[in-house]
Amino acid sequence: MKRLSALCLLSTAMLLGACASTQTATPESAGISSQALTRLDNVLKAEIDAGGLPGTVMLVARHGKVVHFEANGMRDKEAGVPMTRDSIFRMASMTKPITSVAIMMLVEEGRINIGDPASKYLPELKGLQVGVESKDAAGNTVLTRVPARRELTVQDLMRHTSGLTYGHRGASSALVKKTYVDAGEQSREHTNAELITKLSKTVLAFQPGTRFEYGRSTDVLGRIVEVVSGMSLGEFFETRIFKPLGMVDSFFSVPADKVARVANPMIEPATGKRPNVTDPRRPQRFESGGGGLFSTAPDYLRFTTMLLNGGDLDGVRLLAPKTIEHMTSDHLGALPGSFYPGFGFGLGFAVRTHTGMNDMPGTVGEYLWGGAQGTWFWIDPKEKLIAIFMSQRAGDARIYYRRLVKSLVAQTLR
């Protein structure tokens, strides 16, 4: 596709939604170099041509104006279907910031306090113990359960200091993670309520509030939203977030008339197989607040623009500015376990605390997150910048492309 110009502004505006928050602009008028954007586009095309990526959608907005919105490569490489700007992606963990916003909406209504124990809303989580590996008399590694010094809180869940982990990843001991595998935590067939029952049979990986470890915490938040609101998580998202923001292509289960727009991962060269991913044609029983949504770049732009605007989009206010400020501040401090060097973690996002210490350029105060299937976004409040990168390439490759795209966008700023 050609770069945004006067000839395509109308179609772009229609796709994004005709409102002030999603106007288009020439790059230079927003302090962005057209030449540098061409370099970004050419590098992504080269990666696609080399077989590293099936296809991409790249969107850059600055000062409330979209300056770059390009689709390249294939939505389905094996089927020969080209990528389009309205392609629908498996968002995976880019669901997490939306769940965090849902929690804070209920906080603002006085229905949740993030300092509360999670068991106030989910009694099954009361009395969880911490798993500690040790050696028995014969020298075998065994798991000992010790009492938690305090209960995990809603804030712990939001900043991943709860002690809950994943059975398939993380720094926790093998025996701790085995309790998650044995409980069936990785299933896609349980409901949010059934997941909490399973987690109640596991152990915490560490004492709550003592370190960061990415895990099931945000899925637990999704269940808290359900219990407090009286809605399913999907219903809450649709009625309280998606419809108010005009996010028309975001859902846990893709409608039949939109399934053809879903982007698919390519066959992995190393395995000769397509990765195991959620089937968009199948209704999802598990509405995972930690990783279950499908969405598009234009929809996610509306969500991130609301965040950058301090909780408001086109006169629709979801959160107060002070709430956004609280969410996008570092909540880890000196606690160990940051996901990225030079970053802390807020209430739903990684938050940059140092300009240096990381190989990716950026600004103190920017916040970001990505998904395991290859999606990635960041918001830079100082630069008034939003960047959204969409692809379906999982594994270690997605980390490479995050760094690549972050650097390529940074060099466009003037």
pLDDT of residue 169: 75
Which run of H or E residues covers position 23?
strand 23-24
Distance CA 55, CA 266 (A): 9
For 300-304, what is the mean pLDDT?
Answer: 98
* Among 139, 91, 31, residue whose Cα is nearest residue 412: 31
Report how far Cα 241 is from the mean position of its chain's Cα atoms: 16
Burial code (b: 16+ CB inside 10 Å, e: under 16) for 44-54 equals beebbeeebbb
Percent of the chain past pLDDT 70, that is, above it, reads: 95
Q: Where are the domains of the chain?
A: 9-94+231-410, 112-229
Inter-CA distances, 151 with 115, 226, 236, Å:
10, 21, 27
Residue type, 86: D
Residue 294 DSSP SS3: strand
Q: Is the pLDDT of residue 300 over 50?
A: yes
Looking up tokens 């923001």 gives 245
**Within 10 A of 381 (CB to CB), how many other CB atoms are there?**
17
| pLDDT one-digit tens code per residue, 68-114 | 999 999 999 999 999 999 999 999 999 999 999 999 999 999 999 99
Annotation: CATH topology of 112-229: Methane Monooxygenase Hydroxylase; Chain G, domain 1 (1.20.58)
* Contact in structure between 149 and 207 (CB atoms under 8 Å): yes
Tokens (6 digits) for 150: 């305090």
CA angle 160, 161, 166 (to 5 degrees): 55
- Give pLDDT, residue 6: 39
DSSP for 127-189, please give it. Answer: T-EEEEEEE-TTS-EEEEEEE-SS--BHHHHHHT-SS---SSSSSS-HHHHHHHHHHTTT-SS
Largest CA distance in the chain: 77
277 three-state secondary structure = coil
Give the integer Cα–Cα distance in Å for 15 and 298: 7
One-letter amino acid at 214 equals Y
What's the rounded Cα separation, in Å, for the pair 280 and 90? 9
Distance CA 236, CA 199 (A): 23
Between the alpha carbon of residue 374 and those of residues 83, 92, 360, the distances in Å are 15, 9, 17
Tally Cβ neighbours within 10 Å of residue 405: 24
Q: Look at the pTM and tell me if it is higher than 0.85.
A: yes
Helical axes 297-308 vs 9-16, angle rounded to 10°: 70
Residue linked to tokens 């040790």: 134
The number of helices, as runs of H, and strands, as runs of E, in the chain is 12, 15
Is residue 243 within 8 Å of residue 108, measured between CB atoms? Answer: no
pLDDT tens-digit readout, 209-252: 999 999 999 999 999 999 999 999 999 999 999 999 999 999 99
Mean pLDDT of the region 323-332: 98
CATH hierarchy code of domain 9-94+231-410: 3.40.710.10
Residue 10 has pLDDT above 80, yes or no: no
The pLDDT tens digits of the residues spanning 148-198 come to 999 999 999 999 999 999 988 766 789 999 999 999 999 999 999 999 999
What is the Cα–Cα distance from 37 to 43, expressed in whole angstroms? 10
- pLDDT at 1 (0 to 100): 38
Nearest to 4 by CA among 20, 21, 28: 28
